[in-house]
Chain A
Amino acid sequence: MKRFKIAMAAVASAALLLAGCGGEPEGPSSDFDPNAPVTLDLAFWGNDTRAGFYKNAIAKFNEKYPNITVNSTFLPFPEFWEKRQIEAAGRDLPDVMQFDYAYLRQYSQNKLLLDLKPYLGKYIKTDGFAESTLGIGVVNGVTTALPIGTNAWAMFTNTALISKSGAGAYTGGTSWDEYATWMGSVTKAGGGSVWGGTDPTGRIQNFEISLRANGKNLFDDAGAPQFTKADLADFWGKGAQVRGTGATIPTKRLLEVAPKSGFGAGLTTSELTWDNFGAGYAGDLGAAASGLALTAPPVTKAGAKDLYLKPSMLHAIAANSEHPEASALLVDFLVNSQEAGAVFGTNRGLPASSTHLAGVKLDPLSQKILDYETSIKERLGQAPPVPVVGYGSIEEKFRQLGEELGLGTVTVEQAVDQFFSEMDTILKK
């Protein structure tokens, strides 16, 4: 499987090289004719439930535009991108795609995505979006995608499990040391079957917010890293200390329950992750979402704007689309309309467009997310530049090294060296 992945990566880079040879994206050729029959391809990732939502949304869309036939196709996330990479090589991407932030720079720089500027305002309404949110899908000054929903880094706690263990609740927004102490108290009360949390230094986002607390990002606009080996060694060194106290769940135990996380398997009482993961956790735990609480992550530096809103998903149109106007209308419907909002709810993240949000009937969990994103307003800073090409691989390497550190198979120094050499290789491509 590993060899296969490497091969896929090779294919993908070859694909994008080939794709880069293509021509300039075309501007809007003509106005949309509401009577001419048009067929669009729509691709998204997700499960059965989301597929059902898209089906209903398209039916609503067809009430308005009966002349546009939408053929939709869906796959799970990793397969979705394997297929897109190959289609990109053949310049045969689906007209409208659900898009991921991590791939946006790569596809935009290779001119695979349509420049949306001529369509904004005319076919795609923008009044529902905040200025900062619209700026999310801009790469090198060109708008190539519109955010569907936003999410922010957060901490989930399992209140039901905490009260069962007899420990006190975590209030959120404390210092990292206080968080570690609290995890230790839950682990102690849990008596070997429940742990306070997972070592947070295994996730690159926790490193990112500690950097942002000091006014830096992982990467600057030009794609150069804004951290040194010493920064990372310091960060992982703190993680080793916390692991040493036995407050966090042993990595070995985590690997046993994969693909579930320790939190999803009901072994830990807190986990730092994106705020839209609640439904997944509730499903994994088989418990009511009411037992889950959302709180702010620990603070590195008081008063710092370390958090930010990230697009959970975006919509983009392929540069090779033969029907950019119809595609733009579909995107407008999917990101802006109340009807689509009513169909999707918060399945694709908390809606970025206020008109879309107006259609959403908030369930208790979505209400928690909305409340959470309101509660951290003070800590929300400007979003970092669109992730560098290959960010997904960098993030994954970070996670793997975190896992190896947890298993004790590498020292902090070795892990830092490995991370930098891997990152340099990826950034040089």
Chain B
Amino acid sequence: MTTVEHVQPGHETAEITAPDAGPVRRRGRRRGLASTIVWYLLLLVLAAVVLYPLVWLFFATLKPSSEFGRNSGLLPWAPTLDNYARVWDGIAGIPLWRYALNSLIVASLAVVGTLGSSALAGYAFARVAFKGSGIFFAAMIGTLLLPFHVIIIPQYIIFNQLDLLDTYVPLLIGKFLGTEAFFVFLMVQFIRNIPRELDEAARIDGAGHLRIFWSIIVPLLRPALVTGGIFSFIWTWNDFLGPLIYLTSPENYTLPIALRLYNDATSTSDYGATVAASLLSLIPVLLFFLIFQRMLIRGVATQGLKG
């Protein structure tokens, strides 16, 4: 859900700037400075509207808890850094960086597992003509239609009997086994558009499937891998239900669960610490997104064009 929110601003700016940038530049001289300024002002206003919630969040981290609900404006009445100090101290004697580290470990392993397994599965579906590949492909796509909630309980019982609760195995094993149909499909579509002649040339040179995969396909697959990596990272980083079900010890909690611990409707809620910790937990995703944003949009765009 959050990913969609993250992608949208990118798309919007891309859509707004891309078609307009050309005409503005071409007709720029005719239109003159005034209209350029108007255009930029308009864009600035749009950017401000999109960014305002984030700016509000930043200023909210400086508000004491009692100001929430009373001061809905941007600027705090009595700015304070206490919220950050409390967040730094962590919850139940566990510092915040521990939760962040847990999240980072899970998200990084998820990226590695998802990309590795889905690229291999994608190669098999796109290039290897094995018996029943059509049925398997349909079944794989079918799992996209299966709501996660249907399988929660059977999965929980299985992992419980394997004694794997309170470890990261239940959260990650599926990703290493290529069960994420979305990513497999992404890879399949991408590989299908890579000319078969390249494989055939390699085959003539004596390369087997693994060699073709590693030396020919993987280098060409890079845009899809980047796209998949970003999605996988952001989704796992923000995942709440999985860690909630499988992790029990507070020291194993991931960041999204730790964030909820600041709010307890039945006693007292620390709103200041909640927003401060939320902002801190946004930073890695934001950085990740800013760095790879160009590649992300390009990756999705090429998928759309070729597929």
Contact = CB atoms under 8 A, between A and B. Distances in A.
Interface of A: 7-8, 10-11, 14-15, 18, 41, 45-52, 55, 71, 73-77, 79, 82-83, 86-87, 89-90, 92, 256-260, 264-267, 279-280, 282-287, 347
Contacts of A45: 264, 266
Across the A-B interface, the 5 shortest Cβ-Cβ residue pairs: A286-B66, A265-B69, A257-B69, A260-B69, A283-B268
Given A79-B260, A89-B156, A283-B65, A259 B250 contact: no
Interface string B243-282: 0110011100000010011111111111100000000000
B260 A75 contact: yes
Given A47-B262, A47-B264, A286-B67, A15 B245 contact: no
30 contacts: A7-B149, A8-B149, A10-B149, A18-B153, A41-B248, A45-B264, A45-B266, A48-B91, A49-B268, A73-B250, A74-B261, A76-B261, A76-B263, A76-B265, A77-B265, A77-B266, A82-B241, A82-B244, A89-B153, A90-B153, A92-B160, A92-B165, A257-B69, A258-B69, A266-B70, A280-B266, A280-B269, A282-B268, A283-B269, A286-B65
B135 to A, nearest CB: 29
A283 B269 CA distance: 8
Question: Interface SS of chain B: helix, strand, loop or mixed?
Answer: loop
B92 A280 contact: no
Interface of B: 64-70, 72, 91-93, 147, 149, 152-153, 156-157, 160, 165, 241, 244-245, 248-250, 257, 260-271
Contacts of B248: 41, 71, 73
A347 to B, nearest CB: 7
A264 B156 contact: no
Nearest to A10: B149
B66 A287 contact: yes
B68 to A, nearest CB: 6
A49 B157 CA distance: 32
Nearest to B64: A286
Nearest to B147: A7
- The residue among A47, A82, A89 with the most chain B CB atoms within 10 A of its own CB is A47
A329 to B, nearest CB: 22
A86 B152 contact: yes
Contact of A46 (B149, B160, B249, B264): B264
Nearest to B161: A90
A163 B151 CA distance: 57
Contact of A259 (B64, B149, B269): B269
A79 B153 CA distance: 16
A257 B67 CA distance: 10
Contacts of A46: 264, 266-267
A8 B66 CA distance: 33
Contact of A76 (B65, B165, B264): B264
Contacts of B66: 283-287
A86 B261 contact: no
Contacts of B270: 47-48, 283
A347 B267 CA distance: 8
B254 to A, nearest CB: 13
Nearest to B263: A76
B92 A48 contact: yes
B264 A51 contact: no
B285 to A, nearest CB: 19
Given A45-B264, A77-B264, A90-B157, 12 more contacts: A47-B267, A48-B92, A48-B270, A49-B267, A49-B268, A86-B153, A87-B156, A89-B157, A265-B68, A279-B268, A283-B268, A284-B68
Nearest to A50: B267
A76 B260 contact: yes
Contacts of B245: 82-83, 86
A82 B244 CA distance: 9
A73 B149 CA distance: 23
B92 A284 contact: no
Nearest to B66: A286
Contacts of B260: 75-76, 79
A391 to B, nearest CB: 16
Contacts of B268: 47, 49, 279-280, 282-284
Contacts of A283: 65-66, 268-270
A186 to B, nearest CB: 18
B288 to A, nearest CB: 24
